Amino acid sequence: MPAFVIRRLLQSVLVLGVMSLLVFAGVYAIGNPVDILIDPQAGQADIARAISALGLDRPLVEQYLIFLRQALAGDLGNSFVYNVPAIQLILERMPATLELALAATTLAVLLGIPLGLWAGLAPDSWQGKLIMSGSILGFSLPTFWVGLLLIMLFAVELGWLPASGRGPTTEFLGVQVSFLSWDGMRHLILPAINLALFKLSLIIRLTRAGTREALLQDYVKFARAKGLSNARVVGVHVLKNIMIPVVTVIGLEFGSVIAFAIVTESIFGWPGMGKLIIDSINVLDRPVIVAYLLVIVFLVILINLAVDIVYSLLDPRVRIGEAQA
Amino acid sequence: MIVCMFERWAKSAVTGFVCIVLSLAGCVAATAAELRIGLGADVTSLDPHFLNVAPNNNAAWQVYDALTHVDANARLIPGLAVSWRAVDSTTWEFKLRKDVKFHDGSAFSAEDVIFSLERPATLSASPGPFTGFVKPIVAKKIIDPWTLQLKTAAPYAMLPYDLNSIFIVSKKAASGASTEDFNSGKAAIGTGPYKLSRFARGDRIELARNDSYWGAQNGKLAPWDKVTLRILPADTARIAALLAGDVDAIENIPTADLTRLKANAKFRLEQKVSWRTLFLHLDQYRDHPPHLSDKSGKPLAKNPFKDVRVRMAMSKAINRRAIVERVMEGNAIEAGNLVSPPVFGHVAALKPETYDPKAAKDLLAEAGYPDGFALTLYAPNNRYVNDEQLAQTVAQMLARVGILTRVETLPASVYFGKARAGEFSFALLGWGSFSGDLALRALLATPNAAKGYGAWNWGHYSNPKADGLLEQGFATLDEKKREALAREAATLALKDVPVILLHHQLASWAMRKEIAYEARTDEYTFARDFRRR
């Protein structure tokens, strides 16, 4: 197991290197922030001076090597427009995004698994059909539109919840979180629902399919024949066996939830990483773009690793490291 | 029975508690007046000398002052300097305001001005530095704590204008300070109407009223003890925040929502013509500009844009009234000038070109293009109000007189780099300027890197006579004479149709019915200018 983890981490270093090169070259090809940000009254000499002060007049290879040398020393560079270390900007925004992503995932899991079970156990009942049609809506409605609808209904028309922003934060285990206060919770509800909707539908469908399949398995029939209670059959034998695909998908989807958070964050004015990356792309703030993507890639690698490990714990037949043997 | 009594007691206690909380809330709202404003763009730094972009400057203006200010019509007025005059042709003398205190209570003096003028040059890694504004100054001399002389190498009339862009910080607080010291508020000590309480990057800026502000209007301070600037760049989020009552006012309203807000009795709108003018640059220097051909795709024998008749024809083909009424939904005015009506150097006699497709066709035929030609119009799609629709509309209008126009739109981040590299021959640009001569210098003066002329003259239009008038104007220290020269230069240049002028945008703010805002041509949102009605 340790060998497996180390090997995976070494692979990730390679992925990060390739990633940084691609992003670096991509942003270089688009242009430089001076063309967008320089004062309109500035003359040609001012423009040239600003470009050279940022080192943007040097050849791409040289710029990349300078970046690489600094990156290996742990410095991903200062943001062009914020004038603070790019990594600091990202880490400062990360708790907000993670909080939103975790809240959405929790919501999706807590609602999705019971609803999926229900739909799986009683597929022909009207409730089961309702849940399934609801999940189709959750799949097909665009996040952007649902977000606006939620705002119009709950914030503008009813006035129950705030339309945008993050509530007051408090420190919890060294991280600034907002869900501990009532006001913070009120700010979190709408964006979390909006972000959870797609995943909720996914989990409902997975759980339902898994349940229907498991109910026909011999071990379930055997458990029933033994005279076990329905609660035990469903709660232990069925649930445990359908968890494997569900956990895999939740894990893999967690990465995409962080990425999809961009849309929800901009609609709800949520000060997370997604808003930062959009702003940074608009002004070609290369250090932030590169650092953001490196952080995201690293997070996804970590999540995948965690999923593999949990997978092996859930299914005793899976042995980590065998694949490489 | 006991349970019952307990329930009743609990209920009344809860009701009582709720009442107390509500009345307390009422009390708080009545005494501590708070104004919450939704801003339309991200503020990256509170260091006022780091990055010269409008959102950052807007935030800095709440906390700092400059030597010269501009009023709602974008005209220069006294700021921390009460008056200024040219002692001789290369020396400007500024009389500073006495009895001005910084937020930390220390007194403001000429030392702070000198420090602030020198600080931009120490911040080298900025994609939008402030150094251009202090570059003409070759020597600084303190005559007494409230008199300052600045020398330029050559006569330079624009210095008081340039100094509007240099915020005055406290020497004591800002010496050796980093950007983070400004963001944390430690070094963010200004003389402005509000003190910085807290800056949460990407989220909000909290301000507290400066009770000893020198610029209290008619002896009255702004009615808001506390101001929160919420950063809401997404249009939908900003509008929703206003509608839901999360904020009291917002800036930068999309045209589609203006109509809806106008009809809503709970809100009011404030509008004013902005200093931003939209126009189309035409390549007038290359013999075979890119993306220009005859209708079958074969290259043209020569560059049609070099012929003034073609440029005039294209201008006549544009129905500006339709653009203003349809594309901009009434939130713009037709342009006949490079700068909008309130701005220095605007020539009232220059009217928007009248729409005349027949005359346009005749002119094209006269110039040797009876069948027109084909071109590509480039435009950004996230920079100006409705920029993409505007480009599409212009293309259709040109097609009507026989100029087959394709439209290519790009995000601003890609667009401007390509435009500066000369990749387009027909391209949309929007421009906001303090004065007509500054706009002419950047947009229509013959490109000359050494002098800093024509930095945004994408079409390389050149008119030596207009250049001469401009140069003469910048060396003329008398404002009236300078404005006359600026008008003369503008009239001379625009006669050649060097660009195709479209419209001036309107700047808009929306707010709760109970408050009012003095709308500004420079599009800034100043908390101090919001009033209770």
pLDDT at position B409:
95
Among A274, A155, A324, which Cα is nearest to B243's?
A: A155
The answer to whether B25 faces chain A, any CB pair under 8 Å, is: no
Distance (Å, whole) CA B429 – CA B473:
25
The answer to whether B185 faces chain A, any CB pair under 8 Å, is: no
Q: Sort out which chain A residues have CB atoms less than 8 A from B229's CB and list them.
A: none
Amino acid, res. B426: F
Least Cα separation, residue A23 to chain B (angstroms): 15
User: Position of tokens 């006022």?
Assistant: B48
Q: Sort out which chain A residues have CB atoms less than 8 A from B420's CB and list them.
A: 35
Least Cα separation, residue B53 to chain A (angstroms): 7
The answer to whether B44 faces chain A, any CB pair under 8 Å, is: yes
Q: Sort out which chain B residues have CB atoms less than 8 A from A37's CB and list them.
A: 51-53, 127-128
pLDDT at position B219:
65
CB A310 within 8 A of CB A318: no
- Mean confidence (pLDDT) of chain A: 85
Give the chain A residue whose CA is nearest to the CA of B235.
A267
**Yes or no, beta carbons of B241 and A163 under 8 Å apart:** yes
Least Cα separation, residue B289 to chain A (angstroms): 22
Give the chain B residue whose CA is nearest to the CA of A151.
B240
The answer to whether B530 faces chain A, any CB pair under 8 Å, is: no
**Yes or no, beta carbons of B244 and A162 under 8 Å apart:** yes
Q: What is the pLDDT along chain B (533 residues), one digit of tens a residue?
A: 344 444 444 444 444 444 444 444 443 443 468 999 999 988 999 999 999 989 999 999 999 999 999 999 989 999 999 999 999 989 999 999 998 999 999 999 999 999 999 999 998 788 888 988 998 999 999 999 999 999 999 899 999 999 999 999 999 999 999 888 999 999 999 999 999 999 998 889 999 999 999 988 666 778 899 999 999 988 888 999 999 999 999 999 998 899 889 999 999 999 999 999 999 999 999 999 999 999 999 999 999 999 999 999 999 999 999 999 999 999 999 999 999 999 999 999 999 999 999 999 999 999 999 999 999 999 999 889 999 999 999 999 999 999 999 999 998 888 988 898 899 999 999 998 889 999 999 999 999 988 889 989 999 999 999 999 999 999 998 889 999 999 999 999 999 999 999 999 999 999 999 999 999 999 999 999 999 98
Least Cα separation, residue A270 to chain B (angstroms): 8
Q: How far is CA B409 from the centre of its chain?
A: 23
Distance (Å, whole) CA A153 – CA A146:
10
Interface size, chain A vs chain B, as Cβ–Cβ contacts under 8 Å = 179
Give the chain A residue whose CA is nearest to the CA of B232.
A269
Distance (Å, whole) CA B94 – CA B300:
57
Helix (H) or strand (E) holding A187: helix A182-215
Distance (Å, whole) CA B268 – CA B517:
10
B177 Cβ partners below 8 Å, 6+ apart? Answer: B47, B186, B187
Phi first, then psi, for residue B435 (nearest 5°) are -155, 155
**Residue A94 tokens, joined:** 């990360």
pLDDT at position B460:
95
**Yes or no, beta carbons of B244 and A163 under 8 Å apart:** yes
CB A77 within 8 A of CB A291: yes
pLDDT at position A122:
85
Interface of A with B in 13-42 (CB under 8 A): 30-42
**Vertex A79: Cα angle to A73 and A82 (nearest 5):** 140
Distance (Å, whole) CA A86 – CA B455:
31
β-bridge partners, B344: B435
Q: What's the whole-model pTM score?
A: 0.85
Give the chain A residue whose CA is nearest to the CA of B241.
A163
Helix (H) or strand (E) holding B145: none
Phi-psi category of residue B185: left, alpha or beta, with phi > 0 → left and psi -120 to 50 → alpha: left
Q: Sort out which chain B residues have CB atoms less than 8 A from A89's CB and list them.
A: 201
**Yes or no, beta carbons of B45 and A82 under 8 Å apart:** yes
Phi first, then psi, for residue A172 (nearest 5°) are -140, 115
Number of helices (H), then strands (E), belonging to chain B: the values are 17, 22
CB A275 within 8 A of CB B202: yes
Nearest CB to B234: which of A39, A53, A269? A269
pLDDT at position B217:
66
CB B474 within 8 A of CB B442: no
Amino acid, res. B58: N
pLDDT at position B23:
41
**Yes or no, beta carbons of B455 and A159 under 8 Å apart:** no
CB A100 within 8 A of CB A270: yes
The answer to whether A57 faces chain B, any CB pair under 8 Å, is: no
CB A201 within 8 A of CB A135: yes
**What length is written for chain A?**
325
What's the first-to-final CA gap in chain A, in angstroms?
12
B110 Cβ partners below 8 Å, 6+ apart? Answer: B96, B142, B144, B145, B146, B147, B148
Residue A109: pLDDT over 70? yes
A185-212 tens-digit pLDDT: 899 999 999 999 999 999 999 999 888 8
Helix (H) or strand (E) holding A298: helix A286-314
